[in-house]
Amino acid sequence: MRVVAELRVRYGDTDAAGLVYYANYLRYFEAARVEYLRQLGQTYREIEAGGVVLAVTQAICRYHAPARFDDLLALSCRIADLRRASFAFEYEIHRLPDGALIASGRTEHACVDRETLRPVRMPEPLRALVAAFETGSSR
């Protein structure tokens, strides 16, 4: 996995116990996903402008240790299980500077037509960027 972003926990991300509220980890996964695509050289906006939406079909999060207000988190992700019209992102969130694993997870996505919401093949330019990025031969 590659570290794609760092994120400082905001006070509003925490619950009454002072811990990051569990649902916010899915937002952190989304932040990692957006940055991953940006590092590929392809943004969500550009993909959607091409008529394809990367719809989340499943989300899983495993909590390993709590994060608290003002913790600095490293967001890591990679694309796994790349298929014709679907794929999955895998994530890890670590606290800096101690490197403690805070959360890990996976989101599954379907490539769908923006208008009809019917499955479509992943755009070939995006597939090529992912393959190059994941093998380390890009950027």
Q: What is the CATH number of the domain that holds 127?
A: 3.10.129.10
Cα(99)–Cα(116) distance, integer angstroms: 43
Per-residue pLDDT, 139:
46
Domain that residue 129 falls in? 2-135
The first and second tokens of residue 10, run together, are 């905001």
Digit-coded pLDDT (tens) for 20-60: 999 999 999 999 999 999 999 999 999 999 999 999 999 99
Mean pLDDT score of the chain: 95
The yes-or-no verdict on residue 138 having pLDDT over 80 is no
**pTM, entire model:** 0.93
* Domains: count for the chain: 1
> How much is the pLDDT for 66?
97
User: Which residues are CB-contacts of 115 (< 8 A; sequence separation ≥ 6)?
Assistant: 51
List Cα–Cα distances, 5 to 17, 65, 138, 139, in angstroms.
Answer: 26, 19, 18, 15
115, pLDDT greater than 70: yes
CA 97 centroid distance within chain = 21
